[in-house]
Amino acid sequence: MGKKRIIQKSEQEIIKEGEKLGAKIEREIKAKTSRKVDEGRIYISSTYNNTIMTLTDAKGNVIFWTSAGKVGFSGTKKGTPFAASKVAEVMAEVVHKLGIKKISVFVKHVGSGRESALRTLVARNVNIVSIKDVTPIPHDGCRPPKVRRV
């Protein structure tokens, strides 16, 4: 095996990528919202394979959504806590641009990105009013199979 070649991006390339992502987010926000929203909800669906975050108003109408795949991760990297934190950074930026004052967070599933997404939202000064776990739990489970008779 030869040497590992690590691709190093210059600061200018990193800045250009950030500007592209910011411009894309702004276009989506302008296209989807024309009204003022004061309170919102963020639904975090963190599975083993991906992290999806959805921003809605108080009635449940979707304003913006993003996922680890949409941010730029692919394959098994989408299910990592780092990818979830990047998704949460994008969501926090959208919340600040829309001027939403109160956020209720609903977390679903058992992926590794649950906590890191929440921590990132708190670190980005999003005013979180409540956090609720809405992971589906089977109350009685499936019916067991019939007894095998030999």
Q: Is residue 57 part of a domain?
A: yes
Measuring CA to CA, how many Å separate 56 from each of 24, 59, 109?
19, 8, 19
Output the tens digit of pLDDT for each of the chain's 150 residues.
Answer: 566 666 666 667 767 776 777 777 777 766 665 667 899 999 999 999 999 999 999 999 999 999 999 988 999 999 999 999 999 999 999 999 888 999 999 999 998 999 999 999 999 999 999 999 999 888 888 888 999 998
Q: Is residue 95 part of a domain?
A: yes
Q: Is residue 41 part of a domain?
A: yes
Name the residue range of residue 99's domain: 33-133
Residue 36 pLDDT: 79
Residue 65 pLDDT: 93
CA–CA gap between residue 119 and residue 46 (Å, rounded):
14
Q: Is residue 117 part of a domain?
A: yes
For 91, residues 6+ apart whose C-beta sits below 8 A from its C-beta are: 42, 53, 55, 64, 66, 121
Structural domain count, the chain: 1
Which CATH number belongs to the domain containing residue 102 in this structure?
3.30.420.80
Q: Is residue 2 part of a domain?
A: no
Q: Is residue 138 part of a domain?
A: no
